[in-house]
Structure 1
Amino acid sequence: MIAVLFDFSGTLFRVESTESWLSAVLTEADVPLPEPEFGKAAQALQAAGALPGGALPERVPVELADVWEVRDQSSAQHRAAYTGLSRQVPLPDPGLHDALYDRHMTPAAWTPYPDAAEVLRTLHERGVGIGVVSNIGWDLRPVFRAHGLDRYVGTYVLSYEHGIRKPDPRLFAAACADLGADPQQVLMVGDEPRADGGAAALGCAVHFVHHLPADERPDGLRPVLDLVD
């Protein structure tokens, strides 16, 4: 393999818990929400699927169904979908729903998997091209920079910047082109078989990891090094 493409959420990084997400926003806004109200709100937000990168919605409201389907194709649609889900949950201040969305785009909301830096560094040292291909509605580059991983990434191909989303093979083709790599010599690493498996249509090899909390997946990326060899 001369290049490896990685998904973002659930592959290289894991978003914080719903409780941590809500607590950080309440603290920043200086809005108290004592137990048991806090616990109920966090549980309801999780069930609603309001945290991007977190649990999927247990149910998508009818009025959000259309925007949910295209949420990764533009920044506006992404925000509308997730704040719409958040607003299914009553909170002390209506402004908290936008604040929650804004919080999830900050580097503090994301933790690299324990072996992410080692794997990216090793691939980079071997001269293997590295790309990130993500279904997302915002610019994740600052997250990589803040965690010291941007130095290893040769290209970012983000759905909202192209108006299409995985499994559309055009996203993977764009990443391969940016890296000057023949797709048949490229490995795609992700956590969603349907979305990330779209790279196989180009002839890329595909490897899946489990979307687990960061402390429960200490070495899920290390097999990539053997696959590249």
Structure 2
Amino acid sequence: MTTTKGVLFDFSGTLLRIESTESWLRAALTASGTAMDEDGIARSAAALERAGALPGGSSPVEVPAELAGLWEVRDCEARHHRALYTGLARQVPLPDPELYDALYDRSRAAEAWQPYPDAVEVLAELHRRGIRIGVLSNIGWDLRPVLRAHGLDRYVDVCVLSYEHGIQKPDRRLFALGCRELGLDPAAVLMVGDDRTADGAATALGCSFLPVDHLPVDRRPDGLRPVLDLVG
């Protein structure tokens, strides 16, 4: 049996969780200096949730036909990611057109993300054990500043981000790249993620896989700790 010498973590829903849609909207309103009454905020937040406009949040109830192509390749290029998510947000009428870009910008801010309660503890312990650590994410922007702001970057050896390579999970080439960046054979690497299809595809390359649940941070206090039992 091959000893696990490296761990690749997904980002959103695995190490950190995006804020609620209502919190996201309120922050964008504040940033743009736009006023809305409480009922309007609640209605718009619910509509944005249904539209799937918050990156890292819920998927759209229905992807508009004109955005279907972008949805499939959203994490392959930064411009695709922005175009898709601002396009989804524009399905919801808001009082100021500048809000759509303000919402997208907020979704990339460190303040919009909260680490899961055990994230720092688990990464620190893996680092202490000499385990190689990577973040491998389907994403359309640079998450490194978010890791840095929350004190996680000091434990991460590599970041493999889909938009920087033009390929996205479940494409096995992204996992292969992650293993190469770690300097390890796939059989020595554990992939941890909340998407059993996208993240679980690492097993096709020979990695092992640990699923976690994409829950609010207060409902998943120790979902990452099983990693420590699987890694020597």
Same fold by TM (over 0.5)? yes
Query: Which runs of structure 1 show a deviation greater than 6 angstroms over 4 or more consecutive aligned residues?
Result: none
2:6 to 3, 13, 21: 3
Alignment of structure 1 residues 15-164 onto 2, 5 Å: 15-164=18-167
2:178 to 175, 182, 201: 175
How many corresponding residue pairs? 229
**Which SS does the other structure have where 2:197 is aligned?**
helix
Question: Please, what TM-score do these two structures have when normalized by structure 1?
Answer: 0.99
- List runs of 5+ in structure 2 lacking aligned partners: none
2:203 to 200, 204, 215: 200
Within 1, Cα distance between the matches of 2:39 and 2:155? 44
Question: Please, what TM-score do these two structures have when normalized by structure 2?
Answer: 0.98
Within 1, Cα distance between the matches of 2:165 and 2:206? 21
One-letter amino acid matched to 1:10: G
Within 2, Cα distance between the matches of 1:99 and 1:29? 7
One-letter amino acid matched to 2:27: A
Aligned residues: percent identity? Answer: 66
One-letter amino acid matched to 1:159: S
Alpha-carbon deviation of 1:35? 2.2
- List runs of 5+ in structure 1 lacking aligned partners: none
Kindly report the root-mean-square deviation, in angstroms, between the aligned alpha carbons of the 2 structures: 0.6
Q: Does 1:213 align with 2:216?
A: yes
Alpha-carbon deviation of 1:201? 1.1
Q: Does the 8 A contact of 2:190 with 2:209 survive in 1?
A: yes
Aligned to 2:193: 190
Within 2, Cα distance between the matches of 1:42 and 1:167? 30
